[in-house]
Structure 1
């Protein structure tokens, strides 16, 4: 050919692609990712990677995470949260009360898509609205490291409940702890959430307290509990469950075999609801913790609960604070434990009830059979000052005196109570061991005082705290 120009493959001009006009999360995620400059990978060295190279890689990843968040904030036109930038490598992130709004939340969600550090995210009282909660839940479809989410007090309402229920139906995230307290959820929201939870097995801990559920919501909750196989802890306190809702909820509990902790305080169960609860306690073998404080339950309802406790083999904590019961009801409770040789009850809270010395004698008899039991009451009527002093003698002084006489340390004394000599013990096991030991006789008041001093977290005593406890 006469033409001296080199031949080149024929190409066509590619049409320019313009970003879609929709303000979608997907577009924002892509724009934020694309705007962060990424260095080309260096050729692999023959020698193995050094610690310095690993640190450089981690530093590079953190820097890129920060840049991604800053770019997301620019796209969303929001001010970056300095606390978030500083703590992106921590497992616990507390952004409660930061006024993020939906756009600020969306920027956080974009940055967390690829984050592998944050396990717990607190976002209570941030005005998330539907857009914010949607961004968070879309992020959770990609992030399999985040496990606990608190979006309480965000007034999510029905639209928010709909978004959350659709997310729960998918069962695809690693989330197991979800806090939804104070979101103005009503019965129509309860219906959506319960439909999703009926088939959800991922969520283990759920907080729906301080909402607006009434009896119809109680019916939905009961239906859900009869089918759910995942929930282990449920908080329904500060709602509006009365007789019909209470009975429906209890009907569901009778069929449930996984729930261990249930908070129903500040509702209106009354004696009819207490009767239904008594039947639940007779049949249920999974509940370990039950709070029915402030539910207008009198001695009549307490007697029904006591009947159930005579057969229950799982419950350890029962809270009945501020119910209109008297000492007669308190006697019924502890006698029901005495009649049940398989009872595991460790704590009964009736701390608004005045008891008598006769009650204390009955309680001593019950504790002889169940030494792990502690009953918290208000005070003892007519107790003399001398007896009060004897009852409240400092237990640490008594133990220190014994240790000095036998030339051992106080720590040695406490470790001798543990079968394996460990520094920690479950509270129930500790109570049982220290009541049964005969080296330093202690009464129930003194044991309770020791538990208070040695507990650094619920349900566990830690002997290493003895360094801070002085006789």
Structure 2
């Protein structure tokens, strides 16, 4: 038996000498305290526990493989267990997947078998990730762990290892393959890649958000993302679409006007829009027309947007079916907002119970410059209260009351509004069932007004004499600032046309008028028709004489 053991040891020693010739040079510089742990330049590790069985004689050979001995092809087979009989096959494998998972896990966790792991990693660097070397402590007095590339040792000889040798070996970048970053990515490389693909326009961010939500990106949005005006009307966006768009615009400094009309937005989508307005200070105009936001939850979110707004100057809320139930909440939000300059509430369902509330708000507001209340349902007393509020406002420059059916009862209050309001520059009262008597009252108000520039009074029940009275008063008032009067579709006489031409000459061509067809002279004036209110001939003649005193210069 002793003879057989001696022969076996001699055979293993001869085999090891060929396979470890590359490491003997590196280990020759070790101190005496280190060299006494090596037997023929080979580490003597602890036996591996568990299912992986490697004898001490076998593990001593794992340092590298002589290339001359691996030229011949090895048969490919799956190894289920590693022991001293098949360790040579493990070291010659070209695929790490053929090695048992338990074997790899155990040699990675145990520092003693770092040489085994290093030998496999040299052969398969892309299949076995490198192990990060342990950080060196600043205090030399503390015990410093060995780097993975150092030779493994037995537990009995731990105290004999020289710390200086370990530090010098680990600090060498040429001989330490673990420290090298050539075979794997680092955090620094990752950061540089992110900086290179950074897109300041936001298009890449928008694509990623759409991909996460599994929606199709809007090509128009990406094409115009750097424009000052973003028009996204009637795209049928859902909540996820709005979320991706608003998150992309959080840091966008180009878009100033955002139009999202006709997308039938839900409450959650409106919340995303509110967050955008609170985050992005560049957007000064927002249009949410035709989205049917009226109702309990939608109205609350709009009120929240208006209350917290700090940069919006124009907002369009037309076509959202707001009604008497919503007006109280909206007015409360409007009163807290001192930034808004232009407000559009047209095409909603404000009726008789809304005039008083809106009128009180408009009369006390000193920030709004434009308000559009057209195509609502103001009638009777509600209409009078509303116009009274407009009359008392000292800041409003533009007011649109078109198609509200104010009625003849509101004619006189409209005239008073024109006469007393010195801030109003454009007044639209088209389609409000006004009659000839109302036209005469408005004409007399124009005689003393010097601020109104545009008056739209078409599509009313006014005959040709009412139209004539208005133009006669405009001609007689040389201090007026009117540059446009709209009497579209209203039949007039030739006398009215002549007066209009005189006004154009008086204003050096800076006056535009719109009228309907002209009645032939041989026909009776339509003032005698039963469908029109009879004209006050005495008043009309007085207006004629006043206008006759003002004659244009004849070249």
Q: TM-score, normalised by structure 2?
A: 0.57
* 1:9-408 equivalences in 2 (<5 Å): 40=191, 60-62=198-200, 65-158=202-295, 159-172=297-310, 174-367=311-504, 369-371=506-508, 372-382=510-520
Cα 1:171–1:261 shift into 2, 3 Å: same
Contact 2:471 2:496 in 1 (8 A): no
Mapped to 1, the partners of 2:494 and 2:225 lie a distance apart of 57
Map Cα deviations across residues 387-437 of structure 1 (whole Å, 9 max, x no partner): xxxxxxxxxxxxxxxxxxxxxxxxxxxxxxxxxxxxxxxxxxxxxxxx979
Contact 2:408 2:434 in 1 (8 A): yes
Map Cα deviations across residues 123-164 of structure 1 (whole Å, 9 max, x no partner): 111121111111111111110111111111111012222212
User: What 5-or-longer segments of structure 2 have no aligned partner?
Assistant: 1-138, 146-187, 523-551
User: What 5-or-longer segments of structure 1 have no aligned partner?
Assistant: 8-36, 43-55, 385-434, 439-471
Mapped to 2, the partners of 1:364 and 1:67 lie a distance apart of 60
Mapped to 2, the partners of 1:206 and 1:363 lie a distance apart of 34
Total equivalences in the alignment: 342
Mapped to 1, the partners of 2:249 and 2:451 lie a distance apart of 40
Answer with 236-245 or 76-85: which moved more: 76-85
Q: 1:370: how far off?
A: 4.6
| Equivalent position SS for 2:488 | strand
Contact 1:289 1:316 in 2 (8 A): yes
How well do the aligned residues superpose, as a CA RMSD in angstroms? Answer: 2.8
Bigger Rg over Cα? 2
Map Cα deviations across residues 96-128 of structure 1 (whole Å, 9 max, x no partner): 111112221111111111111111111111121
Mapped to 2, the partners of 1:342 and 1:171 lie a distance apart of 40
Q: 1:236: how far off?
A: 1.1
Runs of 4+ in 1 over 6 A off after TM superposition: none
Answer with 373-382 or 142-151: which moved more: 373-382
| Equivalent position SS for 1:379 | coil
Mapped to 1, the partners of 2:342 and 2:266 lie a distance apart of 23
Q: 1:383: how far off?
A: 6.8
Contact 1:218 1:248 in 2 (8 A): yes
Cα 1:4–1:171 shift into 2, 3 Å: closer
Map Cα deviations across residues 161-216 of structure 1 (whole Å, 9 max, x no partner): 221222222342x2212111111111222222222222422222222111111122
Q: 1:360: how far off?
A: 2.9
Mapped to 2, the partners of 1:222 and 1:258 lie a distance apart of 14
Mapped to 2, the partners of 1:76 and 1:247 lie a distance apart of 51
Mapped to 1, the partners of 2:389 and 2:359 lie a distance apart of 4
Mapped to 1, the partners of 2:489 and 2:192 lie a distance apart of 68
Contact 1:213 1:240 in 2 (8 A): yes
* 1:388-467 equivalences in 2 (<5 Å): 438=555
Contact 1:237 1:266 in 2 (8 A): yes
Q: TM-score, normalised by structure 1?
A: 0.67
Mapped to 1, the partners of 2:214 and 2:275 lie a distance apart of 20
| Equivalent position SS for 1:234 | strand
| Equivalent position SS for 2:205 | helix
Mapped to 2, the partners of 1:157 and 1:315 lie a distance apart of 34
Contact 1:270 1:296 in 2 (8 A): yes
Contact 2:450 2:481 in 1 (8 A): yes
